Structure formats: C-alpha cells, structure tokens
Structure 1
Amino acid sequence: MTLSLNNGNSSKHQLQPDILPLLSRLLALEGLIATMYKEVIQLSPQIQKEKAEAESRQAKAERAEKGCNRLIAIILEYAKSQGVKSYDLPYLKHKSYDQLCEYIQKNWPELISQI
C-alpha cells in the first residue's frame, strides 16, 4: 500500500491500495468470464438441439406406450367376452406395438378392424 495525502492542506494521511495489481486481477477475471460466456453461447444451440431430440424421443415413447396399452385393453376385453381368462394369455405388457398387432392377426383376426 502506498501512503498519500488526501488533501495538501490536511494533516490526515490516508492509506490507498496499490491499484495496479487489483486491476490486473480484475482484467484476468474478466477475460476468464468472457471465455466461459463464449463457450456457453457456442454450446447453447447444441444443448437446445439435444433437448428437442430428447423431448421428441420421449413423446414418441409415450405415444407408443399409449398405443400398446390400447391394444392390450382391446385384447383383454375381447378375450374376457370370449370366456378366456387373462392368465391364459401370453404376457403382453413387454410386447411392442408391432408385436401386439402380429399377435392379434395370428390369434384374434376378428379384432383387426379395431386396430
């Protein structure tokens, strides 16, 4: 720190920090922040694209699940109306939409019109 007079006529001495090292640190920090900001800006479109793709995959999976649940409900309802117990049916929950359609075509062709 340097010792300087606050006022030429004043008898008070005031301590002032040496400002050059402080300015140097601030400039280095500013440069680091600017670099980080640029990196975030460059990644932003990529992040938005990945987010949109993830949302699209999730929506597609939800639609597929709803479709599968609909087919399973149709199969179970029809099997019940035919006197078939649900435990006599194969496990349908892990089948894909296409596999369920194939199962209906092979085992319950009368349900094809409901698909």
Structure 2
Amino acid sequence: MTISPNNGNSSEHQLQPDILPLLSMLLALEGLIATMYKEVIQFSPQIPKEKAEAESRQTKAEREEKACNRLIAIILEYAKSQGVNPYNLPYLKQKSYDQLCEYIHKNWPELISQI
C-alpha cells in the first residue's frame, strides 16, 4: 500500500490507486463471509432435528436388540428343556427380530405364545 502526503506541508495522507483492488477484494470477502453466515443460520434448525432423528434411530435399535436377546433366551431355554444341544441351533445373534419370529413360527410353534 502506498501512502503519500497531499502536499508537502500537510500531515494528511492520501490513499494511492493501488489500494483500490485490495479494498474491492476485502468487500468481496465480506460479502462471502456474510453469505456463509446466512447459510449457517439457515441450517442451524436442522441440526437439532437431525440429532433427534439419530437418537430416535439409536433408541429403536437398542429396543430391537433387547427384544432379539429376549427371543434368543426363550429359544435357548426351551431348546435345553427339550434336550436339544444349543450348539446345534443356527447362529441366532445375526438374525433380526422378524427373522427370529419367523424361526420360532417354523421350528418352535409352541413358543409363539411367548413372543
């Protein structure tokens, strides 16, 4: 930036023309920052909504896991009471709740009342 006095006797300084591109660049940057700020404010309400949805999905997954574990315990307990070796059963932990219900309907219909 070049600054030169207006006249030899004055203490005032005058901006030279080479600062004009810098000023226009600063104004453009200010406009860009303002635009970004507006976008952030616009998306701010979505953040709590997305967080609530994620918590809801997590809660649903935890409930399904508990329900699956309950069904697996029922199946294993009944299989033991029937003299079936639990190691001869398919791997139940990989099954979803619906798949476990289907397995019970197919293989252990007497347990349907416990579902």
Counterpart mapping for 1:39-54 below 5 A: 39-54=39-54
Aligned equivalent of 2:86:
86
Unaligned runs of 5+ in 2: none
Instruction: Give CA deviations for 1:15-64 in whole Å, capped at 9, x if unaligned.
Output: 88756555433322211100111122223334444443333223222221
Please report how far the alpha carbon of residue 87 of structure 1 lies from its aligned counterpart in structure 2 after TM superposition: 1.6
Moved more, 55-64 or 26-35: 55-64
Q: Cα RMSD over matched residues?
A: 3.1
Unaligned runs of 5+ in 1: none
Equivalenced residue count is: 110
Identity %: 79
Please report how far the alpha carbon of residue 86 of structure 1 lies from its aligned counterpart in structure 2 after TM superposition: 1.1
Aligned equivalent of 1:32:
32
Q: Secondary structure at the match of 2:36?
A: helix
Moved more, 19-28 or 99-108: 19-28
Taking the aligned partners of 2:22 and 2:88, their CA distance within structure 1 comes to 80
* TM-score where L is the length of structure 1: 0.69
Counterpart mapping for 1:6-85 below 5 A: 20-85=20-85
